[in-house]
Structure 1
């Protein structure tokens, strides 16, 4: 499992789709492009290289040694003077890159995200990382490791067309485990432990308490949030909350979809 990373200069603008190929389990011709408007910072390039190297090993283990990253091209602006291995570009362009590094959009801030227009199983358009995400190590506490956590999570969105395994529109559901009904947070897997907390601030007064049960909805009150415990034993799932230290695998249905495209993931279950 050898990873090849090239650092190239912007020279041509060619309109084409993604050129990613899967050969013998290795993803090749992945293009990561840095927005030409960004000021030069060689640490962005170094951190991208480290991120991809970490992600390749993590993806390999998370998919039971089926997939890894084999060849990646990093496209840097022509005006950057950073001394890396450079060569002419004949088929790559920023507009058609698989991953872009650019200033944040107002909606997302520094949150990494994948632009997905289609339904389940349809590939995404691109992954977006901000310079701050790549440079600020303090964000580790929020997102987890760039390579072993975030990039693999976003790659599953981009390449396999799967979605996050939580639901902001329906954050809770009624579960009947061992014959006893209980309210559970929508998550994969259900073995992720945590607390149900309600927080609200009005002027200088903040309330932080345990959530109350709503007799009308038979769920928790509006505004209630599930806060996962920092110490976990649950290994799944990368598509739910990849920042948890214990998380290292996909759920079964995501894994099956990644390997064969047989069915879209719609149920929880660890590999």
Structure 2
């Protein structure tokens, strides 16, 4: 079935593997295409075979990509949107009348978006594998079923757009992820420590210790000018009205239409 909706996302094709002939197609990822109208297509989403059957997962994927397409259109000043997407489901799932048979092209090795179990490093946090430099396409984006069906309560379409910016355009985050134990999360400037983030006006927050149930961070070494390893800057939603950036704090309600903005105006740590 070609699922069409004409405002942004043109189609989603859902396929299931009943009998696929042929082998691995070189192990390369499927190329994401760009139409003359600015639509991104040929996006293969593969649900790993270990994922239990759950049709709600299909519904959430369709819903979130519809919303993400609208957001992408807005964030790129009406230049780009998602045009068509193929979702490949496991062979063990009960076939639905609207599904089509997959081909040898619909493999995990060629997928640009993978839905699978959490890994040890990231857990349920969405991530994109980016082996290249800034501006170079990523390899694939990973979401867990648990994130899509249970945890994506704060505008999941914004996370999809953020990860697509990693995947297609080679953008990097404008902060240091909590899972990064190497890069400094703060740096000294004008006699104080600033969080390693790109912000615009009106972002307010506090420094919390993730290793102490997000209590206010008290571990600070005056000699080295460093906080403890578990300390991070956390924006406070209720008093923040910043509109950027999707590459830093896309979970904030006020952040919506700007991909990146590296400034340090009106940053206040409470």
Normalised TM-score (structure 2): 0.80
- Are the counterparts in 1 of residues 128 and 166 from structure 2 also a CA contact under 8 Å? yes
Q: Which whole-Å CA distance do the structure 2 matches of 1:150 and 1:247 have between them?
A: 11
2:3 alignment counterpart: none
- Are the counterparts in 1 of residues 243 and 255 from structure 2 also a CA contact under 8 Å? yes
2:227 alignment counterpart: 221
Is 1:122 equivalent to 2:144 in the alignment? no
Q: As a proportion of its length, which structure holds more helix? A: 1
State the SS of the aligned residue for 1:238. Answer: coil
Cα shift at 1:216: 2.2
Size of the alignment, in residue pairs? 243
Which segments of 5 or more consecutive residues in structure 2 lack a partner in the other structure?
Answer: 1-6, 266-270
Q: Which whole-Å CA distance do the structure 2 matches of 1:198 and 1:47 have between them?
A: 33
- Are the counterparts in 2 of residues 189 and 251 from structure 1 also a CA contact under 8 Å? no
Is 1:189 equivalent to 2:199 in the alignment? yes
Quick one: structure 1 residues 66 and 88, their matched pair in 2 at CA, closer, same or farther if it must change by over 3 Å?
Answer: same
1:87 alignment counterpart: 100
Q: Which structure 2 residues correspond to residues 102-141 of structure 1 after superposition, within 5 A? A: 102-136=116-150, 139-140=151-152
Cα shift at 1:207: 9.4
- Are the counterparts in 2 of residues 120 and 163 from structure 1 also a CA contact under 8 Å? yes
Cα shift at 1:250: 3.0
2:169 alignment counterpart: 160
- Are the counterparts in 1 of residues 134 and 172 from structure 2 also a CA contact under 8 Å? yes
Cα shift at 1:45: 0.7
1:257 alignment counterpart: none
State the SS of the aligned residue for 2:234. Answer: strand
1:258 alignment counterpart: none
RMSD over aligned Cα atoms: 2.5
* More moved, 91-100 vs 60-69: 91-100
1:21 alignment counterpart: 33
Is 1:238 equivalent to 2:246 in the alignment? yes
Spell out, residue by residue over 1:100-127, the C-alpha distance to the aligned partner (whole angstroms, 9 max, x if none). 1111112221111111111111211111
Normalised TM-score (structure 1): 0.80
State the SS of the aligned residue for 1:193. Answer: strand
